[in-house]
Amino acid sequence: MTMEATLAAPTTGALLEVKALKKYFPIHAGLFSRHVADVKAIDGVDFEIRRGETLGLVGESGSGKTTIGRVVMRLLPATSGDVSFDGRDILAMGRGDVRHLRRQMQIIFQDPYASLNPRMTVGDIVGEPLRIHNLASGKAAEDRVRDLLKLVGLRPYHANRYPHEFSGGQRQRIGVARALAVDPKFIVCDEPVSALDVSIQAQVINLLEDLQQQLGLTYLFIAHDLSVVRHISTRVAVMYVGKLVELAGRDALYENPLHPYTQALLSAIPIPDPAVEARRTRIVLKGDIPSPVDPPSGCRFHTRCPIAFERCSVEEPAFVDYGSGHFAACHWVAEHGGQAPNLANGPIVL
């Protein structure tokens, strides 16, 4: 398995391919811990990430976007489906191959206060990957740690300090330095700025962009802040209750959203101009995000969709390409020949 996979590694095209990926968390209850239900965190997701691009992944809390990052990183086992990285099937990898995979794939966590070991100095945190993968030791490792700290905008003497001596933004830079230590190709950014002050967010985003250019990185950028995603992404995927509802190039998605859910999400972005903001039409959805334990039948969005019709509650819409890689999963769009529904001005605003 491993050998033929290594031989087949291509040098162009998609770096990461995800096909029909599912991740269910079983719920056990009762005296004998019977398996009563599943939390369907990811329920059949397909996408690919091309070399050097940033795929933004947005969705509400509980939509499963963080779980995708964890499964792709092999931090959580998948229930079914395929994930291939550089042409190799990573879900089938054994312990040794996963260890090797960690040199090429890293993750930046959401909470910079929780993701750094409080008992380790910054030097140990950033230098540990080097020692684990035998990339450097002794003086060479120290030098590499200093370079990494400089690279992320910290100072070399910070290596002797503990995480609690740093601010949130600085801590996130430490997290970035740790991820970069092994010189990876691909980084999962799991809401890397949502725990930071707005003023600090821009700094970290710019840092990530600069690093991408300098080091040729590929990102999976998970977030719920649509403005941040628009700024950093090449393409954007929108997730709703364990499934992708739309995937398109950044501009196509923000300027011509096809799926009603995407439209509703985008209409919620405030506009920093009071005059325009006052005229902005918001599409307010009724109800809450459904439970991933028992998702709605047919299209998962039909319970909240202002333009849902009969077919939506019965049949699950296919994830169809409506031209130049603009995917959407919506019966309304399919029946209107790829036309975007106009929810913004009409009686359907709820």
- In angstroms, give the least distance from the CB of 182 to another protein: 8
Among residues 6, 80, 117, 137, which is the contact residue for another protein, using CB under 8 A? Answer: 117
Q: Tell me the one-letter amino acid at 276.
A: V
Among residues 82, 128, 225, 316, which is the contact residue for another protein, using CB under 8 A? Answer: 128
- Binding of residue 182 to another protein (CB under 8 A): yes
- In angstroms, give the least distance from the CB of 100 to another protein: 9
- In angstroms, give the least distance from the CB of 107 to another protein: 5
Q: Tell me the one-letter amino acid at 193.
A: V
Question: What's CA 233's distance to the chain center, in Å?
Answer: 11
Under 8 Å between Cβ of 122 and 159: yes
Which C-beta is closer to another protein: that of 117 or that of 342? 117
Q: Which helix (DSSP H) or strand (DSSP E) does residue 55 occupy?
A: strand 54-59
- Binding of residue 73 to another protein (CB under 8 A): yes
The number of CA neighbours under 13 Å toward the Cβ of 190 is 22
- Binding of residue 210 to another protein (CB under 8 A): yes
- Binding of residue 110 to another protein (CB under 8 A): yes
The whole-angstrom separation of Cα 14 and Cα 85 is 8
Binders of another protein among 214-253, rule CB under 8 A?
214
- In angstroms, give the least distance from the CB of 136 to another protein: 14
User: Which of the stretches 11-19, 153-161, 226-234, 315-323 binds another protein when contact is defined by CB under 8 A?
Assistant: 153-161
Among residues 27, 132, 271, 314, which is the contact residue for another protein, using CB under 8 A? Answer: 132
**Count of residues in contact with another protein, rule CB under 8 A:** 44
Q: Tell me the one-letter amino acid at 45.
A: V
The whole-angstrom separation of Cα 335 and Cα 299 is 14
Under 8 Å between Cβ of 245 and 261: yes
- Binding of residue 137 to another protein (CB under 8 A): no
Name the H helices within the chain: 2-7, 65-72, 95-101, 122-132, 138-151, 168-180, 198-215, 226-232, 250-255, 260-267, 274-279, 310-314, 331-335
Under 8 Å between Cβ of 232 and 205: yes
Which C-beta is closer to another protein: that of 20 or that of 114? 114
Interface contacts to another protein, rule CB under 8 A: 73, 75, 99, 102-103, 106-107, 109-111, 114-120, 128-129, 132-133, 146, 150-153, 155-157, 160-162, 164, 175, 178, 181-182, 202-203, 206-207, 210-211, 214
